[in-house]
Amino acid sequence: MMGRPDVQADARRVFEVLKRGGIAICPADVGYAVMATSTKSLEKIFLTKKRGAHKRHAGIGSYAIHKEIHIMDPLHGEIVDHLTQDLDIPVGVIARYNHDHPMIKNIEPATMEACDVDGSISILVNAGAFQDALTALTFAENTPLLGSSANLSGTGTKYRVDDISKELIDIADIVIDYGLLKWWVHGRSSTLLDFSGPSIEVVRIGACYDVIRDVIKRRWSIDLPQDPGMESLRFGHLKILDPVKSLQDLITPGQGN
C-alpha cells in the first residue's frame, strides 16, 4: 500500500533536480507538465516535443507569484481572485508584468523572448498542491520555473504518466507520478485568459471553461465566446501567436538568415 504522498518531500526532490539544470515531469491538476529552469533544458524540451516556433514557454506558477509579478487592472484582478481563490479553478493568467522583479530578471534573454508576448507573460495559477509546493521553493529563491504540457505537440494533454510519450520520459531527470489527475474529465489543458488589454481575451478554451464563462457573464456582465466543442476545436486554441525567431532558428538552425 502506497499511502498518502509526501507532497512537500516530492517537491523538494524536484527542486534539487531543477537547480542542477535538470528536467522534471510533474503533476498539475490540469495535466502532467514538463518543466525546467535553464534555457538549455527548455530548448531540449522544446525540440523533443516538436513544438512550433509560435509556441511560448508558460510560467509554472501560483497565486502568490501571480500577485507579485503581474500588473493588472483592479477589475481583472478581482475576476482572477474569484475564479482561483473562491471557486478553486485553475487559470492560465496572461498579463503585463513587473520587468524589475528579481525572478523576471533571472530569466535568460533567449528564454524571455520565448515567454514574452507584447509585454505580457502567462502564469498558471491554482494548479494543485504539488505545483504550489514546488513553486513556493522556486519563488523563495527567485528561480523562474517554466514549461508546458508533458506531451508531443498535437497529441493532447496527458493525465497519467503511463500515457506520456517515451521521448519525454527519456529526457526527464525525475518523474513524479500521482496517478490520474483531477481535471482529466475536460480533456484539455488549462483555460488561458489574456488580461493584458482593456478587455478579456480567451486565448485557449480549457478546463472548467463553461464555469468560467458563466461566472464572468453572471457577475461582471462580460461575454466570452462559447465553446464550439471538442470535435470542432480539439485543443481549444482561439489564438495562434506569431513565431519567435530564436525558436525558429532552434528548429531550423542556419536557415534564420
pTM of the model: 0.92
- Average pLDDT over every residue of 88-100: 97
Q: Tell me the backbone φ, ψ of residue 102, rounded to 5 degrees.
A: -55, -35
How would you label 58-90 residue by residue, b for 16+ Cβ within 10 Å and e otherwise? bbbbbbebbeebbebbeebbebbeebbeeeebb
- Model confidence at 114, in pLDDT bands (50, 70, 90)? confident
Q: In the predicted model, what is the mean pLDDT of the chain?
A: 93
pLDDT at 129: 97
Q: Which residue has the higher pLDDT, 239 or 105?
A: 105
Pairing of strands 201-204, 192-194: antiparallel
Q: Is residue 57's pLDDT more than 90?
A: no
Q: Which residue has the higher pLDDT, 254 or 89?
A: 89
pLDDT at 1: 77
Number of H helices, E strands in the chain: 10, 10
pLDDT at 182: 94
d(CA 98, CA 129): 26
pLDDT digits (tens, 9 = 90+) for 11-48: 999 999 999 999 999 999 999 999 999 999 999 998 99
Q: Is residue 255's pLDDT more than 70?
A: no
- Model confidence at 56, in pLDDT bands (50, 70, 90)? confident
pLDDT digits (tens, 9 = 90+) for 173-189: 999 999 999 999 898 99
Say what percent of the chain tops pLDDT 70: 98
Q: Which residue has the higher pLDDT, 230 or 138?
A: 138
- Model confidence at 54, in pLDDT bands (50, 70, 90)? confident
pLDDT at 256: 44
Contact of 139 with 103, CB cutoff 8 Å: yes
pLDDT at 254: 55
pLDDT digits (tens, 9 = 90+) for 181-233: 999 989 899 999 999 999 999 999 999 999 999 999 999 999 999 999 988 99
pLDDT at 251: 79
Rounded to 10 degrees, the C-alpha dihedral 13/15/19/24 comes to 80
